[in-house]
Homo-oligomer: A and B are copies of this chain.
Amino acid sequence: MGKPLNIGLIGYGFMGRTHSNAYSQVTHFFDVPYTPVLKTVCGLEEDKAKAFAEQWGYASYTTDWRKVIEDESIDVVDVCVPNNMHAEIAIAAAQAGKAILCEKPLAMNAAQGREMVQAVEKAKVANLVSFNYRRVPAVTLAKQLIDSGRLGRIFHYRANFLQDWTISAKVPQGGMATWRLDVKAAGSGVVGDLLAHCIDTAMWHNGRIGEVCAVTETFVKERLNVDTGKVEPVGIDDACTFLCRFDNGSLGNFESTRYARGHKALYTFEINGEHASIAWDLHDLHRLEYFDHRDESIVRGWRSIHVTDADMPYMDKWWVPGLQIGYEHTFVHQAADFLSGMASGKPAGPTFREALETQCVCDTVLASAAERAWKKVSY
């Protein structure tokens, strides 16, 4: 068993659960140089924080995030709060010399993100942004296939992230369950929440995006804000589509919405190269679709790869071929890589610096939509 590593989790929402699960599970399946110890959890409401601590086995709880930072025994601060709190907490954690695992998107905007990058780099602390979908085995496999050169010159990259949970005008904004609809807490709508994932994966797979042209729409113009009790204008983007050019000359097409009836979390991407293409979707995350034009013509077709064999990324750690893993495993993989990176000196990605690039694209997408014009991305 690896050396103990004390975790301080800030935020006990959906992401707090996925991260806690990852720390609980990682040593059961991976040989990691550190053993995470669930030291403390922090959240706004004491009774909930207490219940969360009990359920997951945190040794303590608090409602004041600064106490987590001040706690010298804490080695890692894990930031799972709404986006508008990322920068303040992460910068404080860096200054206190903590390693930091921060939920995505990195920040409310690139300017804020840059401060965060400076803070962690100045403090020389381990840092990672939780773009967990990189660590779906099929998505990691896609990265390997692309990097192997099998696809040849890339012509197209397209990605969608489609949901349908906000179609009803009765869904409120604000509060713990729906802060993602409140622009003050979230910064943006689908751009930061969903497209950020697509952009992170896309640039990991296909290199930098050079310029974008976007459109956004807010279909439901006002919603009850559960924090204020008032019906307020909706400040986030309900949907966003953008065109782009990658630096490698390929064209990109990205779309996200929370108004695509029938899709709960349909994150899909497809990349088309000269020789081969790859496609994936989150609703069947254990499969990767692969087409190779160099196959003999009479047996050429899209291959549905059931990514469960032991030679697939991460899959030697789990069960036997044919038996699929699910969503939460991406966070277990992330924890394993983060811990390994801390020990090896080759940090797992995306680091804050790398995630800042996604933030830059998000900012440019929003600016492009506002200005109705093509915009170059400044990194």
**A residues lining the B interface (CB < 8 Å):** 1, 14, 18, 20-21, 24-25, 27-28, 54-56, 141, 144-145, 151, 155-156, 158, 162-165, 167, 213-215, 217, 219, 239, 241-243, 245, 249, 251, 253, 255, 257, 259-266, 272-277, 282-288, 290-293, 295, 297-306, 308-309, 311-312, 318-329, 372-374
Contacts and interface: CB of A to CB of B under 8 A. Distances in A.
Considering the complex of A and B, which 3 residue pairs feature the smallest CB-CB distances, nearest first? A264-B322, A265-B322, A262-B291
Given A263-B322, A282-B322, A283-B322, A299 B305 contact: yes
Contacts of A298: 141, 144-145, 305, 311-312
Nearest to A259: B155
A5 to B, nearest CB: 16
B261 A277 contact: yes
B243 A283 contact: no
Contacts of A312: 298
Contacts of A262: 272, 276-277, 291, 293, 302
Q: A282, A306, A320: which has the most chain B beta carbons within 10 Å? A: A306
A302 B277 CA distance: 15
A303 B303 contact: yes
A319 B255 CA distance: 24
